[in-house]
Structure 1
Amino acid sequence: MDRLVNTVRPYAWGSTTAIPELIGIAPTGEPQAELWMGAHPGAPSRLERGPLNEVIAADPVRELGAEAVRKFGPHLPFLLKILAAGAPLSLQVHPDLAQAQQGYAAEERTHIPIDAPNRNYKDANHKPELICALTPFEGFCGFRTPLEAAELIAGLGVDSLKPYVDLLQAHPQEAALRELLTAVLTADRAEMAATVTEAAAAARRIGGPYVPYAQIAHYFPGDPGVIAAMLLNHVILQPGEAMFLGAGVPHAYISGLGVEIMANSDNVLRCGLTPKHVDVPELLRVVRFDAGDPAVLRPEASESGEEVYDTPIDEFRLSRYVLAPDGEGRELTADTPQILLCTAGRVTAGELSLGPGESVFAPAGERVKIKASADAPGTVFRATVVI
């Protein structure tokens, strides 16, 4: 078992204080958006034995287990993060596996450089993800029904939005959502910017349920993503609650600190709230126009003390242990690779002591026992795979 040394990604939307407060260090004044734990080549965790991706590549069966290698290949199939949003992230969707493979192959055939700003597919993998709140966590996820969206948009009283309200009320669900998102993203940019400015002013004036839209318009003035976000469910997760984001589900995070886990991919198609490339035709190919309430997940407890966040994919499995002070601890030995992350208190994992924000990698078959300190409870998140 190895202690992980992890990289903080300083994306502009990151909180300047949340991660430093969690791990008990002074803020630098710079945004600290994501703490990565895993073997992603962009920022692999480091062990005493070397970067985790290189350690795994040297002996995949030893590190991951034969069954995991057979099922997922000779690499760690998930990336674990602590995510700290101090400003809104882009409104985005992720492709399913077939779409990612097709899109990646098409861009490779046309020789679009992998780091080109108009490149959609950085790899041939899908990117389902799960966010679990450590603090109240705010975002948008999945479509409202067209009638709910029409009521929200109509409440702003903006004349230039009335055709959108009529469209939502006049068409079947999927067609209404598709046509409106298309109309918003393909509208004349100057005219849309003026509409967004007027809508943002109305949202600030009215307040209440319109506060999130005034907030994102503050960060992205004139951006069509402000109107697109009104088609989505507004969600606030309480600590311990989670949200699974499958392929084609539009979403955006606004604020909060959480543990995020995802398939090991970097494929993102953006809808708005960003200065980056928005490929409308490809986006519309990937988006799933299904309306309904977002499924807020709460962990399912077992007799072993493991609280599991149930998701429909196998590349990752996230669970949580809340350990009593100076209790007997829990045995976590498994035939799969594991990353164990402390988020509260102080715990031991084997002979290693972990505080909030610290983590370890346990190869497949490694005997692992976690235990809280004598004077306070501890919380450990466990990331692994399903075989």
Structure 2
Amino acid sequence: MDRLVNTVRPYAWGSTTALPELLGEQPTGEPQAELWMGAHPGAPSRIERGGLPDRTLSDVVAADPEGQLGAASVREFGPRLPFLLKLLAADSPLSLQVHPDRAQAAEGYADEEARGVPLDAPHRNYKDDGHKPELLCALTPFEGLCGFRPPKETAAFLESLDVAGLAPYVDILRARPGTDALREVLTALLTADRDEIAGTVDEAATAAARLAEQGADTAPGTPGREEYAAYAAIAQHYPGDPGVLAAMLLNHVTLRPGEALFLDAGVPHAYLRGLGVEIMANSDNVLRCGLTPKHIDVPELLRIVRFEPGEPGILRPEADDAGGEESYTTPVGEFRLSRFTLVPGAEPHVLAPHAGQILLCTAGTAVVHSEEDDGELALTPGRSVWVPAAERVRLSGDGTLFRATVAV
């Protein structure tokens, strides 16, 4: 096993303090949005040897895929690490987006390749032929948007803002069947003239801010102060953007620490604020719906989005029979996320040889002991270790440790 040296990505929406506080480092004053752990070509982790970063994890995996990943993982996903693990620290909204399923990604990638669209072109939709399901587990209270609300609930929300320019959308949401109504309204918002709709966006934002300041929280199922405040905050970052109104079609969610969201193909979503552990299939395929200066391909987006209203599926960890490992169950094979709460003096948790895995400490101190060479690594918050497939390790300490591996 080897300690990982990981890269922080300084995206503009990142928090300036959350990751430094977790890592016990001084803030730089610049946003620190994501800490990447894995073998993604954009920022592969490096293996620490002799106290210094050595080879990348990508190189280590490429030199011995079965030894590092496990035979089952290589058979299923090829000779590469199929997931990317992150610490994500948002202080302002990320773009409203969806991800394609496997077939859509393969079709879209092949089409753009055939048309000769450069991989780095700003209007390119598909950087690879893979899907990108993802899971976000909150470490702090975490706000986001996930999936469409039932149209009649959204109609009530928009009506409560009392903005004349929203009346046509309210009428559609009340008159049409659910999926048809959502498709028609989202299409109208994304194809609207930005200058013409900007006034409606600003009026809606002002109304949301006013209602957030005025009212006490209301009954379940009706808009409350927190929800109005969230949309008002989005509009502050993206004034006049029709994506603000598109965001109002979605469920507003606040996760408590330990709760998670699974985001499958076609589900529109956006992270708003908070610190969490995120794991995803190792793909770059994103189609944006708004809240971004980047390219929005409306026809392709409408092909990908699943116009299915419903409650967001908040996941809570499920303990195994032994009571030591708590897992977040998802329907994908590329990744599996679980956590351990380590208690001083308790029997160590034994992780049998299975597949390559990344162990990440998020609180306290976690001690990872290798039975292969009797080596031991102590992890503090934000630090991680790579464990090859054939290696058996024991976990002990006083803190919280997340385990990222495959589900095959």
Q: Please indicate the TM-score interval, normalised by the length of the shorter structure.
A: over 0.9
- 2:174 aligns with 169
- 1:248 aligns with 266
Distance 1:130 1:17 in 2: 23
Which aligned pairs between 1:100-119 and structure 2 lie closer than 5 A? 100-119=105-124
Distance 1:316 1:218 in 2: 35
Render the CA deviation track for 1:224-250: whole Å, top value 9, x for unaligned: 111001110000000000000000000
Matched, 1:313 2:350: no
Q: 2:399 aligns with which of 378, 383, 386?
A: 378
- 1:41 aligns with 41
- 2:81 aligns with 76
- 2:297 aligns with 279
- The one-letter code matched in structure 1 to 2:400 is T
- The one-letter code matched in structure 2 to 1:199 is A
Distance 2:102 2:77 in 1: 13
Distance 2:195 2:177 in 1: 29
Render the CA deviation track for 1:189-229: whole Å, top value 9, x for unaligned: 11111110111111111111311110000000011111001
Render the CA deviation track for 1:317-361: whole Å, top value 9, x for unaligned: 000000112322211123211100000001111101100000000
Name the SS for the 1:174 alignment partner. helix
Distance 1:280 1:16 in 2: 33
Name the SS for the 1:345 alignment partner. strand
CA RMSD of the aligned region, Å? 0.8
Deviates more, 1:350-359 or 1:59-68: 59-68
Q: 2:208 aligns with which of 196, 203, 211?
A: 203
Name the SS for the 2:167 alignment partner. helix
- 1:6 aligns with 6
Deviates more, 1:216-225 or 1:204-213: 204-213
Which aligned pairs between 1:280-295 and structure 2 lie closer than 5 A? 280-295=298-313
Structure 1's unaligned 5+ residue stretches are: none
% identical equivalent positions: 67
Name the SS for the 2:396 alignment partner. strand
- The one-letter code matched in structure 2 to 1:316 is F
Distance 1:204 1:36 in 2: 35
- 1:86 aligns with 91
Distance 2:405 2:132 in 1: 16
- The one-letter code matched in structure 1 to 2:387 is A
- 1:191 aligns with 196
Distance 2:349 2:62 in 1: 30
- 2:283 aligns with 265
Name the SS for the 2:67 alignment partner. helix
Give the TM-score taking structure 2 as reference length. Answer: 0.93
Deviates more, 1:124-133 or 1:103-112: 103-112
Name the SS for the 1:341 alignment partner. strand
Q: 1:368 aligns with which of 393, 401, 404?
A: 393
After the TM superposition, list the runs of 4 or more consecutive aligned residues in structure 1 that deviate by more than 3 angstroms. none
Distance 2:309 2:210 in 1: 28
- 1:335 aligns with 354
Aligned residues: 383
- 1:365 positional shift: 1.4
- 1:349 aligns with 368
Structure 2's unaligned 5+ residue stretches are: 213-224, 370-375
Q: 1:212 aligns with which of 208, 230, 236?
A: 230
Distance 1:212 1:348 in 2: 39
Distance 1:313 1:216 in 2: 31
- 2:316 aligns with 298
Deviates more, 1:41-50 or 1:219-228: 41-50
Distance 2:31 2:345 in 1: 36
Name the SS for the 2:289 alignment partner. strand
- The one-letter code matched in structure 2 to 1:384 is T
Deviates more, 1:179-188 or 1:49-58: 49-58
Deviates more, 1:328-337 or 1:102-111: 328-337
Give the TM-score taking structure 1 as reference length. Answer: 0.98
Render the CA deviation track for 1:281-320: whole Å, top value 9, x for unaligned: 0000000001110010000012330000000010000000
Distance 1:386 1:212 in 2: 35
Matched, 1:157 2:162: yes
Distance 1:335 1:140 in 2: 35
- 2:131 aligns with 126
Render the CA deviation track for 1:55-106: whole Å, top value 9, x for unaligned: 1111111111111101110000000000000110000000000000011111
- 1:151 positional shift: 0.4
Render the CA deviation track for 1:32-60: whole Å, top value 9, x for unaligned: 00000000000000003510111111111
Distance 1:21 1:356 in 2: 9
- The one-letter code matched in structure 1 to 2:349 is R
Distance 2:368 2:384 in 1: 9
- 2:241 aligns with 223
Name the SS for the 2:5 alignment partner. coil
- The one-letter code matched in structure 2 to 1:10 is P
